[in-house]
Structure 1
Amino acid sequence: MSVKEELIEIFKSRSGGPFLFLGSGFSRRYLNLEDWNGLLTRFTKGEGMKRFGFYLSQSNGSMPDAATRLAEDFNDYWWGASEYAESVARHHQDVKSQDFALRLEVSNYLRSYQTEKILSGVEYKEEVELLTKLNVDGVITTNWDNFLENIFPDYTVYTGQADLLFSNSQEIAEIYKIHGCIKDPYSLVLTGEDYKDFNDKNTYLAAKLITLFVEHPIVFIGYSIADPNIKSILKSISQCIGKENIEKLRQNLIFIDWSPTPIEASISHTYQTVEGVQIPFTLIQANDFIEIYEAIYETKRKIPARVLRHCKEQFYTFVQSSTPEKNICVIDMDDIDNHTDIEFVVGVGVAEKAASFSTTGYRSISVYHLFDDILLDNQELDPESVLLDSVPSLSILSPNVPIYKYLKSMSINDEDSFSNYISDCKGAGRHPESIIQLHENNLFHVSEKSYYNKAYKQKYSYHSLTDLLGSLKTNSIPHFLNCLPEEKLREEVDVLREYLIAHIDHTDSIVSKSASSQYRKLICKLDYIENGF
């Protein structure tokens, strides 16, 4: 089993969706930022400043304490340095401590990395494109930069414990910047005193993190397993849940160990000893993160995290409101962008069967419901509601909408019964035009100019469907299968069905949009072969 497949199994076995826990290595990878040592070294080059090694040696190797000592000298330099004159003029009234100058200039430097521009030219562009499509439940980070806000623009950002204390946090579609953010220089956990305060006073934040760790798989990227911040969190978790329950966390703690040299990705299960307690975790070693991001994507929620968060938030507000009836409406979840004036009511109960959907419900059915129904027969949909309420809107977006299973279930299995049904619909004032159009479409037409059609005729026309599945690259398979004539597909329709069921997730694939479209067309062909006339 591949790393991707094992990760998918882990994610599917957990009740909560994945959280990302991102460290400095994450920003170094995508923004080419320095490590902490390199970042602080940038601010030791002024007149009268000492090398960073001096501050580190004076602090017995403690980076936070070295930052404290550096901040003192940098404060003296900052007030008179010509390069910071404009910054001094703008912020001199904001200074409340001698470490403010270093905080401010670190923030200004990181802010100069305009990540929205970097995204288009980043070295790991494929990984970043996958990142922007991930529907993770949330992100925890010790990074200060604003890269994540650009990757997940719809997520709500909380900076430190103070932000969380009096906020209506939903634990979904949220970014927790636990060590501060460049938007507020004073929020940065930078100096030795900052770390002491963080460890001593952030009891609410610690409790929040422990809850997330217990309820969600946490994917650590950009950290060493020996990172003192991570060991501190693991220690808190072990103390909270007890040694007898610690093994239950194994599949919730997933560390990505990046290899600087190309290696074949591997996954293993191991332990990290923290103050005498063995913490179990899953370790993935890889040179790139493509498989990891794909695994997260392919176990995504059917409802976007941003929508779930807003529904939870508004449901909470609705319960507390004395006049909730003012701002209630029914809206498609994909249209929730401008939602400031909308509150949501969530109905909780037992659905007798899907056939009891209202007309409005059938109009909001996605084409993926129909694909699942064709392949798995698991939706219990009312056929006439599908044909007259769902299909019209779905067919506007794509010509690949299955209809024959629903016609057949209404005993419409030849041209005469189809014509009679269409006449009855028109007589009743219904509009069956989209059904007519889909029925008239030639599903088996393949352009003579198609690369796949030419290649099929030249190389593969004598192959069986089974042979094709075994000899072609994954992304090419649906293209070539759509070049098969109807007769050949009919001969091996069972093979076609098994293939489509095995790859049902490819109807909504990030691997290739064109391949995804071809999968959908194949499902419609299967529907026609098995149920059409």
Structure 2
Amino acid sequence: MNIQEFISNYHNHPVLFVGTGLSLRYLKNSYSWDSLLQKVAMDFNENPEYYLDIKSEHMDSTGYVYEQIATQLENDFNQYLKKNRHGKFEYINDIFYENMQKGINISRFKLYLADLLRTAEIKESALDEIAELKKARKNISSVITTNYDTMIEQLFSFNPLIGNNILLSNPYGSVYKIHGCVSQPEKIIITEEDYEEFNCKYELIRAQLLSLFIHNPIIFIGYNIGDKNIKDILRTIFSYVDYNSDEAKKIRDNFLLVEYEEGSDNTEVIEHDIDIEGFETIRINKIKTDNFTAVYQALANLVLPVSAMDIRKVQSVVREICEGGAIEVSITEDLDELNNSDKVLVVGSRKTITYEFLTTSEMMINYFEIIEEANSQLLSLLNKQKIQSSQYFPIFAFSAICPEISRSEELKQQQKDKIAALIKSPHSSCTGDHSTPQEVLDDQQVPQTYKTLEMICSIMSGKMNLEQVEIFLKNYEDKRSTDYRKLLCAYDLKSNA
């Protein structure tokens, strides 16, 4: 079955289970478990045989036992830094002792691991594929990862959950960092002791994850077929769910492993049998390919009755209701009965309730997120909203994503006319020759009142770097201001016209 057809059969938002392979694929600075430990070993002991000696002492019938290797390496590394206060690792010792003064004891080894992986910079060669992944995120309920880096939360803008916080989570819009994260080095799980402690506490986390696996499709990506994590998850699921039950069949049908095969453009999903100790053979679905773009596009094209974004918002409101506090709850089928409030959860019928998500103002605030996700379903709501002739609205990129916007040509002309009117007779200080927004802000010759206009003039003259404008707009403090809307319209026009 083709990947597009396979994913189109999903009836719920899938969960991504992300492994090291995805970080290796996209990040400039990433390591496998073996290469990460080897990197640390070589950084403080330049003898290449040192790491090989450690590996030779920690093998079993299945291969190297990396948690044992990490345990010995941690001990050696910490002792080395303890004896060598200054020098190459002085900054790690500084952090260690600074924490100790606060009564916080974090292994120097884990502090160094966090430092090695702290930067999550995307390879330029991967940017096109990453763009497709971002389009798919609107249909992803949550992400589970064993990776320590912060790539996923940066790409998805999901809430990272580490350690016990996993138990307090909103299932939609979360990144479950089950082996820890560089943002909290003390919670990194890598040594034998870490795994023993994790396994002792895992039952509650296991129950939380099991609920996700039962109710949502699972897509493993960044792992290979023999990976221990995959086998552990399958063992967990079928320890609680009868393998021959209808529920088990549903789980198997929704389970997909995306396995890397260099140079392959394959888009066909096949069945594959996995042998798991203590169980009969378990059949799963697998696609072996280098064409991850096809997988992401299939996810982006998935159409479900309710968006993952809407579910996240509803769950957030419900949770706030359950936690108590100042929020007031009214259940009605008539919106006219409700007073204005910050949050409204409506329960009723289609006959009595009309719901339109995101005003035009909110669309401008979320402009870049909507563009990245190519969220045509959301943009189709523009046909139900009135955009006044006096309003600044960036229609060019939106109409490219959603050609069904009925007034797009009229709105494009309106946008062009409004920008043209702005720059027709600019103030004498507006020369239109600045290359970045920061240059305008720093230029004392441009009065504060005219800085936005000069940015617009520079955008439209072609002198201003649009990537810098994008960064400036993403970080703009007041996205409801007229200045933001003017700048956004100029950027949208210049980028897409």
TM bracket (short chain): 0.5 to 0.7
Is the alpha carbon distance of 1:258 and 1:320 closer, same or farther for their aligned partners in structure 2, counting shifts above 3 Å? closer
Amino acid paired to 2:180: G
Structure 2 counterpart of 1:37:
34
CA distance in structure 1 between the partners assigned to 2:359 and 2:81 by the alignment: 63
What is the Cα deviation at residue 265 of structure 1?
A: 2.9
2:109 to 102, 107, 111: 102
Is the alpha carbon distance of 1:310 and 1:343 closer, same or farther for their aligned partners in structure 2, counting shifts above 3 Å? farther
What is the Cα deviation at residue 229 of structure 1?
A: 2.2
Please give the per-residue CA displacement for 1:26-74, whole angstroms capped at 9, x wherever unaligned.
1111114221111111122334876222112111221100110111111
Is the alpha carbon distance of 1:19 and 1:393 closer, same or farther for their aligned partners in structure 2, counting shifts above 3 Å? farther
Please give the per-residue CA displacement for 1:71-106, whole angstroms capped at 9, x wherever unaligned.
111112122061001221232253699981211101
Please give the per-residue CA displacement for 1:459-495, whole angstroms capped at 9, x wherever unaligned.
xxxxxxxxxxxxxxxxxxxxxxxxxxxxxxxxxxxxx
The answer to whether the Cα contact below 8 Å between 1:318 and 1:345 also exists between their aligned partners in 2 is: no
1:260 to 262, 266, 271: 262
Structure 2 counterpart of 1:138:
142
What is the Cα deviation at residue 257 of structure 1?
A: 1.2
CA distance in structure 1 between the partners assigned to 2:323 and 2:99 by the alignment: 39
What is the Cα deviation at residue 8 of structure 1?
A: 2.1
Secondary structure in 2 matching 1:274: coil
Q: How does 1:497-516 map to 2 (within 5 A)?
A: none
What is the Cα deviation at residue 109 of structure 1?
A: 0.7
Secondary structure in 1 matching 2:263: coil
CA distance in structure 1 between the partners assigned to 2:128 and 2:281 by the alignment: 36
Q: How does 1:179-218 map to 2 (within 5 A)?
A: 179-218=179-218
Is the alpha carbon distance of 1:391 and 1:221 closer, same or farther for their aligned partners in structure 2, counting shifts above 3 Å? same
The answer to whether the Cα contact below 8 Å between 1:47 and 1:77 also exists between their aligned partners in 2 is: no
Structure 2 counterpart of 1:51:
50
Is the alpha carbon distance of 1:109 and 1:54 closer, same or farther for their aligned partners in structure 2, counting shifts above 3 Å? same
- The TM-score normalised by the length of structure 2 is 0.65
Is the alpha carbon distance of 1:401 and 1:17 closer, same or farther for their aligned partners in structure 2, counting shifts above 3 Å? closer
Secondary structure in 2 matching 1:244: coil
Amino acid paired to 1:347: V
CA distance in structure 1 between the partners assigned to 2:387 and 2:205 by the alignment: 49
Q: How does 1:25-424 map to 2 (within 5 A)?
A: 25-32=21-28, 33-45=30-42, 46-47=44-45, 51-60=50-59, 61-79=64-82, 80=84, 82-94=87-99, 100-111=107-118, 113=119, 115=120, 118-119=121-122, 121-133=123-135, 134-135=137-138, 136-153=140-157, 155-160=158-163, 162-165=164-167, 167=168, 169-245=169-245, 246-275=248-277, 276-299=279-302, 305-321=308-324, 323-325=326-328, 343-352=342-351, 357=354, 390-392=385-387, 398=395
CA distance in structure 1 between the partners assigned to 2:146 and 2:7 by the alignment: 24
CA distance in structure 2 between the partners assigned to 1:18 and 1:24 by the alignment: 19
The answer to whether the Cα contact below 8 Å between 1:143 and 1:181 also exists between their aligned partners in 2 is: yes
CA distance in structure 2 between the partners assigned to 1:107 and 1:369 by the alignment: 39
Q: Alpha carbon RMSD of aligned pairs, Å?
A: 4.0
Please give the per-residue CA displacement for 1:292-335, whole angstroms capped at 9, x wherever unaligned.
001111115576644532331222323553642499xxxxxxxx
Is the alpha carbon distance of 1:90 and 1:196 closer, same or farther for their aligned partners in structure 2, counting shifts above 3 Å? closer
Amino acid paired to 1:159: I
Secondary structure in 1 matching 2:282: strand
Secondary structure in 1 matching 2:183: coil
CA distance in structure 2 between the partners assigned to 1:369 and 1:56 by the alignment: 53
Amino acid paired to 1:390: Q
The answer to whether the Cα contact below 8 Å between 2:16 and 2:220 also exists between their aligned partners in 1 is: yes
Is the alpha carbon distance of 1:362 and 1:186 closer, same or farther for their aligned partners in structure 2, counting shifts above 3 Å? closer
The answer to whether the Cα contact below 8 Å between 2:224 and 2:259 also exists between their aligned partners in 1 is: yes
Q: Which runs of 5+ in 1 are unaligned?
A: 328-341, 374-385, 404-433, 442-512, 518-533
Q: Indicate whether 1:20 and 2:27 are aligned.
A: no
CA distance in structure 1 between the partners assigned to 2:261 and 2:235 by the alignment: 26
Amino acid paired to 2:32: D
Q: Which runs of 5+ in 2 are unaligned?
A: 331-340, 364-374, 415-491
Is the alpha carbon distance of 1:101 and 1:357 closer, same or farther for their aligned partners in structure 2, counting shifts above 3 Å? closer
The answer to whether the Cα contact below 8 Å between 1:138 and 1:175 also exists between their aligned partners in 2 is: yes
The answer to whether the Cα contact below 8 Å between 1:214 and 1:252 also exists between their aligned partners in 2 is: no
